[in-house]
Amino acid sequence: MASVGEAFCEVLLKHRVGAVFGNPGSNELPFLRHLPDELPYYLALQEGAAIAMADGYAQASGTVGFVNLHAASGTGNAMGCLTNTASSHTPLLITAGQQSRRYHPVNALLTNVDATKLCDPLVKWSGEPLRPEDAPLLASKALLLAQSAPAGPVYLSVPLDDWDRPADAATQRQLLDRSVHGHPVAPDSALEPLVQALAEASAPVLVLGPGVDTPIGYPAAIAFAQRSRLPVWNAPSAPRAPFPTTHPYYRGQLASAAGDLAKALDGHDLILVFGAPLFRYHAPSKDDFLPAGVAV
């Protein structure tokens, strides 16, 4: 089974992250042991320089820049240059090592106190895993947000003893299929994979959320469902109805429990979702989030 560190690096490579820039300390050493050869580490002599190097690399390469800093002190040293990154809307993932989970509650030396607040208001989002196996999931979320319009930096704090823990294999398979087209208006190049997936699917299904309930979206969803003969579900806990409930293609509203939702979508090989988050699970469940083998 892959470790959290290995799974984390898999996510980085999936999003075409090509290098690491940083100035590490003891909190970051467990992560560095998991770096693959495809991710060279460029050591900066000061954290502000690491941010600047990653910023320039991201803009020149068209990829997300990746920075590795030392807890709160290293993050603080980098924040002067982080203002430039925020202003230029450069997609950047900044990671910092958190103290071990055992020592964090007693505020031991090198604890990053209130880590998710440290970089406000210079980052789009900050995160810290509630469970050790959540670090790859948060990396995926951070990378997607960094690239989405308006692009910008994001911040992730990870406890140093998480990296060697076993990863969540089921979640990891789903993470490696995720991608984002960050432009607010989808170009043809972004729609082509969607069109191809629909053409190749044998049992597609349409899931709609409140973002479709607009004067343009509502009739377009009906026309799309009818033309492609797609069964239609409402997303879980949708505050508005994005599809007529009396339509013959309407199947109902998806449950907010992972197992029940997966059961409703079982038998489909492609799930197309418009105007809704994926998905707003609520009721406790140990079941998989989605049926095995389905593409979203």
Numbered ranges of CATH 3.40.50.1220 in the chain: 188-274
Given a cut of 90, whether residue 175 has pLDDT beyond it is no
3.90.180.10, 3.40.50.1000, 3.40.50.970, 3.40.50.720: which CATH number matches 4-175? 3.40.50.970
Computed over every residue of the chain, the mean pLDDT equals 92
3.30.300.180, 3.40.1010.10, 3.40.50.1220, 3.50.40.10: which CATH number matches 188-274? 3.40.50.1220
Mean pLDDT, rounded, for 149-177: 87
Percent of the chain with pLDDT over 70: 100
Given a cut of 80, whether residue 154 has pLDDT beyond it is yes
Given a cut of 80, whether residue 146 has pLDDT beyond it is yes
How far is C-alpha 97 from the geometric centre of its chain's CA atoms?
A: 19
Task: Give CA–CA dist 70/97, Å, rounded.
Answer: 6
Question: Using CA atoms in the order 242, 244, 248, 250, what is the torsion angle rounded to 10 degrees?
Answer: 30
Q: What is the pTM of this model?
A: 0.78
Distances (CA, A) of 191 to 165, 184, 198: 38, 13, 11
Q: pLDDT by residue (tens digit) across 267-293?
A: 999 999 999 888 888 888 888 888 888
Q: How many CA atoms lie within 13 A of 105 on its CB side?
A: 2
Q: pLDDT by residue (tens digit) across 188-240?
A: 887 888 899 999 999 999 999 999 999 999 999 999 999 999 999 999 987 88
Numbered ranges of CATH 3.40.50.970 in the chain: 4-175
Q: pLDDT by residue (tens digit) across 23-78?
A: 999 999 999 999 999 999 999 999 999 999 999 999 999 999 999 999 999 999 99
**pLDDT band, residue 149 (cuts 50/70/90):** confident
Q: How many residues appear in the chain?
A: 296
